[in-house]
């Protein structure tokens, strides 16, 4: 089995895409409104959706705001 190289930029891009897809699926057309309603910095949240780095504790807060478990969040969009 070939070991796949960890590509930070690719992982963050997928993470941002997943965050954005779930926000939209939850009925929030505006990332700013979602962030405001869940007490997350709007500017920072916008950067997360663009694939910028974020702390694990922040990711956990975002996943909790979606009303999801870690398993549910990572169940899609990270198949490599």
Task: Kindly report, residue by residue over 12-45, the tens digit of the pLDDT.
Answer: 999 999 999 999 999 999 999 999 999 999 999 9
Measuring CA to CA, which residue among 55, 59, 77 is closest to residue 68? 59
pLDDT value at position 1? 54
pLDDT at 17: 96
Alpha carbons 64 and 46: distance in angstroms, whole number: 17
Whole-prediction pTM value? Answer: 0.86
As to burial, measured by CB atoms within 10 angstroms (0-12 exposed, 13-18 middle, 19+ buried), residue 15 is buried
- Side-chain-side CA neighbours of residue 41 (13 Å): 7
Cβ neighbours of 67 (radius 10 Å): 9
Instruction: Give percent above pLDDT 90 in the chain.
Output: 80
Contact 63, 70 (CB under 8 A): yes
């Amino acid at each position: 089995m070939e070991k796949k190289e960890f590509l930070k930029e690719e992982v963050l891009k997928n993470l941002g895409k997943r965050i954005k897809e779930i926000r939209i699926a939850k009925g929030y057309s505006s990332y700013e409104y979602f962030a405001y309603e869940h007490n997350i910095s709007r500017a920072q949240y916008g950067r997360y959706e663009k694939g910028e780095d974020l702390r694990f504790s922040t990711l956990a807060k975002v996943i909790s705001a979606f009303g999801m478990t870690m398993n549910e969040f990572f169940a899609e969009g990270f198949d490599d």
